[in-house]
Structure 1
Amino acid sequence: MRVVVSGGAGFIGSHLAEDLLADGFEVIVVDNLLTGRRDNIVHLLGHPRFRFLEQDVATIELLPADAIFHLASPASPVGYRRHPIETLLVNSIGTLRLLECARASGARFVFASTSEVYGDPLVHPQSEDYYGNVNPVGPRSCYDEGKRFGEALTMEFVREYGVDARIARIFNTYGPRMDPDDGRVVPNFIVRALTGEPLEIYGDGMQTRALCYVSDMVRGLRLLMERDGLAGSIVNLGNPDERTILELAQLILRLTGSKAPLIYRPPRPDDPTRRCPDIRRARELLGWEPVVSLEEGMTETIRYFRRILSSTTVRDA
């Protein structure tokens, strides 16, 4: 069985590709390395069932496949603010190209959407039938509206052409292979804690996030692809264990043993104040829920960042 993973050199995509290979699938990763990193897949490059196409999915021609996971897109505020046009194009034209591939091949298709489609939500926790509270022209809109358009396009291919497509709304995910410079809260806090720099908290630190470990996310994505009868389904994937940013900072300081101070900055524009998934649909349709605790997952993530920071120090010495 041939599986295409767009964005497969990224954080979640590389773990997904690795997991699929381990289960005997032929895997084709398509990634232009705009925000993905070759280091994330270098250990897979010699595998006989692995193929890497360094290409923008917005320019891709027909690519035969049995299943397509569309994860390609900058996903962090640093990434999509640095590449806003590319973010809009990969979630619009790139999604169109891959849906056309799925239609031509009769492949199943999973579109990796995001909790950002809910914007700064007025409903907590967020369920799939909530339409969201999104600023369509704000500094995050290239990502939020790009994903919302990608969802709409995916659903039209389901209705118009009978493509067996499903939508995953991915909530905050963390773990090894996160880019230390991508600006998201987990790598930002861990790197600063390990290097003794102040941990920056925007606003009062009472805004919340619910963090899902990457192995749980990969399992959820695969179940969404593999379950029969789910064409047109939209499913939240995330961990409902809601924590404040201040709690996360204190946990990371404790697990790293760091004495780094906390400093407070003005709130970021359009930064959601609360974010937490309602995962009842994932439980009912997929039999899925996270199993890795925040402390366990954070310990593994800190171990990864210690290793890469250590290797960087050695190379720079």
Structure 2
Amino acid sequence: MKRILITGAAGFIGSHLCDRFISEGYHVIGMDNLITGDLKNIQHLFGNEFFEFYHHDITKFVFVPGSLDYILHFASPASPIDYLKIPIQTLKVGSLGTHNLLGLARVKNARILIASTSEVYGDPLVHPQTEEYYGNVNTIGPRGVYDEAKRFQESLTMAYHTFHNLETRIVRIFNTYGPRMRLNDGRVIPAFIGQVLRGEPLTIFGDGNQTRSFCYIDDQVEGIYRLLLSDYHLPVNIGNPDEITIKDFAQEIISLSGASKDIVFKELPENDPMQRCPNIDRAKTLLDWTPKVGRAEGMMKTYNYFKDFTNEELLKEEHKDFSKYIY
């Protein structure tokens, strides 16, 4: 039985990856410091003989007993609310955390896949974004702590691949959604759904003409799985190129809920990208991968997941104490 370490295991994407690899017959070792992750995302795996969990911060030395065949590095705050609250930890998990895991992969002779992001492209001047595009990123802007953590992460990974001949993979993840997202994490889909379910107006930042492309979690996991098992070491975009403006997407959410809701426009945050759409030709060619779940189907599943929450969960605001992670 092959053994795989998944960091960020209690997070949104990480928890779905745990499910996938257990279903494929792997022994999964999950690791998370639970800054933004939630044990409820993986509680169904506790008691499974092929799953174990370590509560650990990977910016500290990482030790895993026994052999490892693969490592998936998905530990990182991923929403603006989170990485603006814990900017130093965001930079450390992308740098020190990545360094620790690359070292572990080298010691264990394991293949490692690094979760990068479409944010490495910044506010892009090329559309749609190909893997060859170098990006347009403000290193000292408010989003720089996340963007540059991921860009450095890619550089460090490639250095280990080149200098140590380490088996590495890099996935650039575009906006992904589905069950287990957090309602109050600041990303557009849970934010809109939460506002609809609470009976609040929908908030659009800017004029709403900026675009996003949303990929359902099952498609994202399938792309990651295929990339890990491929023989390709350069970055690969995994996302859904079905592009929509935020203004039109808000109307889709309103129609989905069947409720009549107002839309409130607020000032666009600094360096918020105006266009976000992946070119997935590389994934199509190398991985034989394309997204299968349309936005209407995926949003219905996601909306129904959140609709099942209790009123208390819907109405509460996040008051998690991040102070102990700021160092």
State the TM-score, normalizing by the size of structure 1. 0.97
Partner of 1:273: 274
Contact 2:202 2:261 in 1 (8 A): yes
Distance 1:99 1:202, change over 3 A: same
Partner of 2:4: 3
2:227 counterpart (220, 224, 227): 224
**How far did residue 66 of structure 1 move?**
0.5
Partner of 1:118: 121
SS at match of 1:86: helix
Partner of 2:37: 36
Q: Distance in 1 between matches of 2:46 and 2:6?
A: 14
Distance 1:261 1:313, change over 3 A: closer
Q: Distance in 2 between matches of 1:184 and 1:154?
A: 27
Q: Distance in 1 between matches of 2:30 and 2:134?
A: 32
Q: One-letter code of the match for 1:143? A: Y
Q: One-letter code of the match for 1:130? A: Y
Q: Distance in 1 between matches of 2:226 and 2:289?
A: 8
**How far did residue 311 of structure 1 move?**
6.8
Contact 1:62 1:100 in 2 (8 A): no
Q: Distance in 1 between matches of 2:254 and 2:68?
A: 45
Q: Distance in 2 between matches of 1:114 and 1:99?
A: 18
**How far did residue 313 of structure 1 move?**
6.9
2:142 counterpart (139, 144, 147): 139
User: How many residues matched?
Assistant: 313
Post-superposition CA distance 1:201-244 (Å, at most 9, x none):
011100000000000000000100012x22x2210010000000
Q: Distance in 2 between matches of 1:213 and 1:79?
A: 22
1:307 aligns with 2:308: yes
Post-superposition CA distance 1:120-154 (Å, at most 9, x none):
00000000000000000000011000000000000
Q: Distance in 1 between matches of 2:22 and 2:188?
A: 30
Q: Distance in 2 between matches of 1:251 and 1:276?
A: 19
Contact 1:196 1:259 in 2 (8 A): no
Partner of 1:103: 106
1:171 aligns with 2:174: yes
Contact 1:194 1:258 in 2 (8 A): no
Q: Distance in 2 between matches of 1:44 and 1:115?
A: 30
1:181 counterpart (180, 184, 203): 184
**How far did residue 310 of structure 1 move?**
4.6
Q: One-letter code of the match for 2:79? A: S
Deviates more, 1:180-189 or 1:250-259: 250-259
Q: One-letter code of the match for 1:297? A: G
Q: Distance in 1 between matches of 2:156 and 2:60?
A: 17
Q: One-letter code of the match for 1:70? A: H
Partner of 1:213: 216
Q: Distance in 2 between matches of 1:312 and 1:214?
A: 22
Q: One-letter code of the match for 2:289? A: W
Contact 1:202 1:266 in 2 (8 A): yes
Contact 2:197 2:314 in 1 (8 A): no
Identical-residue share of aligned pairs (%): 50
Q: One-letter code of the match for 2:266? A: R
Contact 2:171 2:235 in 1 (8 A): yes
Unpaired segments ≥5 residues, structure 2: 317-327
**How far did residue 46 of structure 1 move?**
1.2
Post-superposition CA distance 1:21-63 (Å, at most 9, x none):
1121100111000001111111111111101101001113343
Please, what is the CA RMSD of the aligned residues? Answer: 1.3
1:157 aligns with 2:174: no
**How far did residue 259 of structure 1 move?**
1.4
Unpaired segments ≥5 residues, structure 1: none
Q: Distance in 2 between matches of 1:83 and 1:258?
A: 36
Q: One-letter code of the match for 1:164? A: E
Q: One-letter code of the match for 2:106? A: R
